[in-house]
Amino acid sequence: MSGAGNGVTGRHAVVLGGGLAGLLAAHVLAAHAEKVTLVERDRFPDGPESRPGLPQDRHTHVLLLGGQHAVEKLLPGLVGELVAEGAPRIGAPRDIVHWQAGTYYRRTEPTTHYLTGSRPLTDWVVRRRVLAHPRITTVEGAEAVGLLGDARRVRGVRLRERGSSGRGTHDLAADLVLDTTGRSSRAPRWLAALGAEPPHEEHLETGLAYATRFFKARPADQDLTYRGVYVVPNPAQRRAGIMLPLEGDRWSVILSGVRGDEPPTDEDGFLAFAATLPHPLLHDWLREADPLTPIHGFRKTANVRRRYDRPGRRPAGFLAAGEALCSFNPIYGQGLSVAALSAVALRDALDDPRRTPTTLRVQRALFEATRQAWDISAGADKNMPGATGNALRPRAVDKPAEWYMTRLVARATGDPVVGRAFRDVLSLTAPTASLFAPRVAAAVLFGRGGQAPTEPPLHRE
């Protein structure tokens, strides 16, 4: 990987996985390799359509503000393209009826914005930009079945035509292989087959399941005084719900619950589950809604982190990114944004003129790009009833930090200072340390702030 940033020719990089993480990584690598090959199990659709390799693309997705900033660094103007294609832009807290910790957020002026277009739309808009690059080619309808090389260096990847049952494999030589095949990545086994050391895995899960359905917007929806509903779970409120707009005059509704409180995927059960949320707003809307799709369930929601950043007997020329490196409970809506932030981290590590971009150094930069989102997702999940996993191990600092965060969350709904700081961290635009800044800490510990509503605030302040 030496020579990064100087346009070295003759190098070939292979990216496994054609989702957002793979697309953005391929775009970055095209500045450092003569050729980048993107390998995808599916065949890409011509437009913003679902595909089997993205089982979550029938569920709610958001691009957080931190992710928007990252995408703009890589592909300037892309956020504008998403909006032009219909992706709604939602301001928080102004546009959302948001329940958390027993009260509602005041609907003051927005301090952050979310893009809530569908996953197929987001991938398509990014894909048409990235695949227009002359150095990027695709191999579609093929999957990786192993790595080439040895424990010291990866030299390529073995591919199999999808559905060929082990026959028809061929080898693709490469100077770099980057795995973005998602949470089901088989790279640990491939590394072990080379005689290398697979990464240690950290795991934390609550048994959370969710169910999503898309709905047609009705004329009556034009009279709504809000553009979203968000009921956040906590240890005392194990069920949650989100309603957000999609492109094409559609709405997305997702219901979720942890182990023992899973939402049903039948029509009557879905509606009955919504009736158990802390307020009837979402349930009442669903009673009159016009569904466009079946109800799709999803249960693979564990937080899983593969520690490729730690020293070990691993080959040069192999990297992991996206959910192949770190996957989060999807209910926190971080996946797309972390994919973009990771691509920026990859670019910065390869472009750094002060340091040779060794495999381990670049892998550590990719890991750091996931750290804050992991702390948010795993930090919240470890307090949920029935949470399991080896990442649950308590530390001495946890109890005072949890006490402070509980107080902060309670203050955030009514205090604009605390609320803004909290949203900035959740949006991945400010570091977690900013929650302990003097002004925020004073408001958390001593301030009274504004009175948080106890009933749904149907109008902006």
Task: Clarify whether residues 328 and 406 are in a common domain.
Answer: no
Task: Clarify whether residues 140 and 54 are in a common domain.
Answer: yes
3-class SS letters over 173-194: ECCEEEECCCCCCCHHHHHHHC
The answer as to whether 3 is a domain residue is no
Q: What is the pLDDT of residue 3?
A: 35
Q: Which two tokens stand for residue 129?
A: 């930009």
Pairing relationship of beta strands 154-161 and 35-40 according to DSSP bridges: unpaired
Task: Clarify whether residues 213 and 181 are in a common domain.
Answer: no
- Out of 46-55, 222-231, 293-302, 359-368, which region has the weakest mean confidence (pLDDT)? 46-55
Mean pLDDT for the stretch of residues 409-428:
96
Q: In a 3-state reduction of DSSP, which class is residue 110?
A: coil
Domain count across the chain: 3
Mean pLDDT for the stretch of residues 178-202:
97
Q: Rounded to 5 degrees, what angle do the CA atoms 248, 250, 254 make? A: 140
CATH number at residue 154: 3.50.50.60
Task: Clarify whether residues 286 and 314 are in a common domain.
Answer: no
The answer as to whether 43 is a domain residue is yes
Contact 114, 62 (CB under 8 A): yes
Is pLDDT above 70 for 8? no
Q: What is the pLDDT of residue 429?
A: 98
The answer as to whether 179 is a domain residue is yes
The string of pLDDT tens digits covering residues 312-322 is: 999 999 999 99
Measured CA distances, 313 to 153, 201, 218, 365 (Å): 11, 16, 58, 19
Q: What is the pLDDT of residue 2?
A: 40
Average pLDDT taken over every residue of the chain: 94
Task: Clarify whether residues 139 and 167 are in a common domain.
Answer: yes
- Go through 342-352 and write b for each residue having 16 or more CB atoms within 10 A of its CB, e for each that does not: bbbbbbebbee
Task: Clarify whether residues 194 and 212 are in a common domain.
Answer: no
Task: Clarify whether residues 195 and 319 are in a common domain.
Answer: yes
CATH number at residue 270: 3.30.70.2450
Q: Which two tokens stand for residue 322?
A: 């996206």
Task: Clarify whether residues 365 and 322 are in a common domain.
Answer: yes
Q: Containing domain of residue 436, as a range? A: 394-445
Task: Clarify whether residues 177 and 33 are in a common domain.
Answer: yes
- DSSP letter at 10 equals S
3-class SS letters over 128-165: HHHCCCCCEEEEECEEEEEEEECCCEEEEEEEEECCCC
Q: Is 195 exposed, middle or buried (0-12, 13-18, 19+ CB in 10 A)?
A: exposed
Q: Is the dihedral of CA 117, 119, 120, 126 positive or negative?
A: positive
pTM for this prediction: 0.95
| 3-class SS shares of the chain: helix, strand, coil, % to 5 | 35, 25, 40
Q: What is the pLDDT of residue 6?
A: 42
What percent of the chain clears pLDDT 70, i.e. is strictly above it?
Answer: 97
As a whole number of angstroms, the distance between CA 48 and CA 278 comes to 35
Task: Clarify whether residues 270 and 243 are in a common domain.
Answer: yes
